[in-house]
Amino acid sequence: MSRKEYESIKHECMDLLNKAGIVLSPSETESLEIADFGLGRIRELGLQLITYINTNRYCAKELILLPFQTCPEHLHPPVNNEKGKEETFRCRQGLVYLYVPGPKTENPHSVIPANYNLYLTVWHEITLHPGEQYTIQPNTPHWFQAGKDGAIVSEFSSTSTDENDIFTDPNINRMPVITD
């Protein structure tokens, strides 16, 4: 992703956070991670996040999604004799369509990015409105997408080791690369 695109996405995320009344410290603003997953389709397939804390016991993050932006399907596997990350998503603003194993939702609300159906295997839709939450157990495949106005989700979890996440799409590079 180019530096110009990175700055544009960062500006949009700060607008969404301001609209939600979420105040960040200067260091938190500076640490905003913009992940395009190496796919070059950030507005369709990506995620922006701020990690408030991540210790060997717990983690707290803010996940920011642009309108209809999808975080690709992945799971949090066992790492170092730990079960894997258990996470609770709490919607703060907008709508979030979360997909987990279970009965397939016949008419999902998500807008699937072009040619991406191949990498989505779970189709049980859970719609989260502001104030609603859902807990995802370790090693559970899931993916999620914001509604038309974007979304902000607070994530509370056990220790996060994002570098160990397993994605359904083998083309994904979890760690962002920014070019000038």
CA distances from 150 to 32, 51, 165, 174 (A): 17, 19, 24, 21
In-domain check, residue 86: yes
pLDDT-based confidence at residue 80 (cuts at 50, 70, 90): confident
In-domain check, residue 90: yes
In-domain check, residue 177: no
| Count of domains observed in the chain | 1
Q: CB–CB of 44/19 below 8 Å?
A: no
The string over 69-83, giving b where at least 16 C-beta atoms fall within 10 Å of a residue's C-beta and e elsewhere, is: bbbbbbbbeeeeeee
Domain hosting residue 42, numbered range = 3-167
Give residue-wise pLDDT tens across range 112-129: 999 999 999 999 999 999
- Which domain CATH number covers 143? 2.60.120.10
pLDDT-based confidence at residue 82 (cuts at 50, 70, 90): confident
Task: Give pTM, 2 decimals.
Answer: 0.94
The runs of H, that is alpha helices, within the chain are 3-19, 26-30
In-domain check, residue 172: no
In-domain check, residue 30: yes
pLDDT-based confidence at residue 173 (cuts at 50, 70, 90): confident
On the question of pLDDT at 180 being above 70, the answer is no
Give residue-wise pLDDT tens across range 25-65: 999 999 999 999 999 999 999 999 999 999 999 999 999 99
Q: CB–CB of 37/45 below 8 Å?
A: yes
In-domain check, residue 173: no
In-domain check, residue 162: yes
Whole-number mean pLDDT of the chain?
94
On the question of pLDDT at 176 being above 90, the answer is no
- Specify burial of residue 104 (Cβ count, 10 A radius: 0-12, 13-18, 19+): exposed
Residue partners of 174: CB distance under 8 A and separation at least 6: 35, 37, 162, 163, 165, 167
Q: Could you give the 3-state DSSP secondary structure of residue 50?
A: strand
In-domain check, residue 179: no
